[in-house]
Amino acid sequence: MKYYIIAGEASGDLHGSNLMKALYKKDTQADIRFWGGDLMKSVGGTLVSHYKERAFMGFAEVISNLRKILSFISFCKKDIAKFNPDVIVFIDNSGFNLRIAKWAKEQGFKTNYYISPQVWASRSKRIKKIKRDVDAMFVILPFEEKFYKKHDYKVTFVGHPLLDEIADRKQVDEQQFRAEHHLSDKPIIALLPGSRKQEITKMLSVMLSLVDDFKDYQFVIAGAPSQSFEFYKQFIKDSDVKFINNKTYDLLSISNAALVTSGTATLETALFKVPQVVCYKGSTISYQIAKRIVTLKFISLVNLIMDKEVVKELIQGDFTAKNLKLELTKILDQNHRETLFEEYHDLEQKLGGRGASDKTASLIIKGLKNA
């Protein structure tokens, strides 16, 4: 079978790579062409476009790069038509993928979606497009199945792929890891400022402003695979701050606390049982637009899944050095940490168990055989 997979950022690349592994295992004749990143490329298949070429964050940034985005959409359609896949698998990245899905459905291609657009957060009218253009939807958050059911659209909850990713990883030798990366023996505070240049620029300086207030801790920046150290270097003013690229899971596994930019990383941090403060700050224009269309009480996946405030969120104007210092102090307190660990355990139970990638691959192949 021929599969065309489209993922648009670091998390999509991760989940896409695991889906590809499962597809290759279940379909030894699989021919996969994809838009993704280094993780998907390492599995096999043919990389068409790397996600870092299309990393635009926020409404203002998208508008200013609209011509470039439209050229990607046009090229993608032509590339799909030439490859003529048996199925197209969209992974999150709704702004791009829903446009391709509309065209693909009109052209008669089979369309599957793995990891739903966040229609439950904003612009719920997109559900009409999904019902029209997507043949099968596989969701990874427990509340999404109920949400879609209310809108008369049957989706399948497959569990969260991060459970497999974290459980299957090799254990880190902490002493060796610290030695390799020249870390002190102080407890570690991990900084996860995001993966796009725009968000790193907004987040990292404020996070690093706390270094002098927490001298008993080692601050370590988790570098995103899509960015080089040269970009991060401009923000690092203290020689005690360390930078480790593309080793976020290893870093989280030995961290005492974390400051995390909102996104998939908040859930990853929780699954590693690391106390965290969730941070977010976008451009003023993008934030004002988002505030008017987003209907959620929370922005972090941890709080959304639990439907209550488990981790503190500092958003836009609340994301200041003063507030961040206060909240970091709280999560370093042992009593607070014990309560948080209990909440993290409950969170993991809600995520539906392991095997999301295998389940999704099986359902995609079953759908092709039954077509």
**pLDDT given for residue 289 in this prediction:** 47
Task: Answer yes or no: is 166 within a domain.
Answer: no
C-alpha span between 9 and 365 (Å, rounded)? 25
Task: Answer yes or no: is 62 within a domain.
Answer: yes
Residue 318: CB atoms within 10 Å: 15
**pLDDT given for residue 64 in this prediction:** 59
Do 28 and 94 fall within a single domain? yes
C-alpha span between 318 and 270 (Å, rounded)? 22
Do 190 and 43 fall within a single domain? no
Do 364 and 303 fall within a single domain? no
Task: Answer yes or no: is 59 within a domain.
Answer: yes
Report in angstroms the alpha-carbon separations of 295 from 118, 152, 217, 278, 287.
11, 20, 37, 18, 13
Task: Answer yes or no: is 58 within a domain.
Answer: yes
Neighbour-count burial of 46, counting CB atoms closer than 10 A to its CB (0-12 exposed, 13-18 middle, 19+ buried): exposed
**pLDDT given for residue 252 in this prediction:** 97
Task: Answer yes or no: is 141 within a domain.
Answer: yes
For each of the chain's 371 residues, which pLDDT tens digit applies? Answer: 999 999 988 889 989 999 999 999 999 999 999 999 999 999 999 999 998 776 544 455 556 566 777 888 999 999 999 999 999 999 988 888 999 999 999 999 999 999 998 887 667 788 999 999 999 999 999 889 988 999 999 999 999 999 998 988 888 999 999 999 999 999 999 999 988 888 898 899 999 999 999 999 999 999 988 788 999 999 998 888 999 998 999 999 999 999 999 888 999 999 999 999 999 886 555 545 445 445 567 889 999 999 999 999 999 889 999 999 999 999 999 888 999 999 999 999 999 888 999 999 999 999 998 86
Do 177 and 94 fall within a single domain? no
**pLDDT given for residue 23 in this prediction:** 97
How many CA within 13 A on the CB side of residue 125? 2
Report in angstroms the alpha-carbon separations of 208 from 178, 198, 213, 226, 320.
20, 16, 10, 21, 11
Task: Answer yes or no: is 52 within a domain.
Answer: yes
The number of folded domains in the chain is 2
C-alpha span between 106 and 6 (Å, rounded)? 18
C-alpha span between 20 and 43 (Å, rounded)? 7
Task: Answer yes or no: is 137 within a domain.
Answer: yes
Task: Answer yes or no: is 295 within a domain.
Answer: yes
Do 214 and 182 fall within a single domain? yes
Domain of 59?
2-161+355-369
Do 234 and 292 fall within a single domain? yes
C-alpha span between 321 and 224 (Å, rounded)? 23
Do 212 and 237 fall within a single domain? yes
C-alpha span between 277 and 311 (Å, rounded)? 6
Domain of residue 325, CATH code:
3.40.50.2000
Do 332 and 184 fall within a single domain? yes
Do 23 and 73 fall within a single domain? yes
Do 186 and 71 fall within a single domain? no
Do 132 and 215 fall within a single domain? no
Do 104 and 182 fall within a single domain? no
C-alpha span between 80 and 68 (Å, rounded)? 19
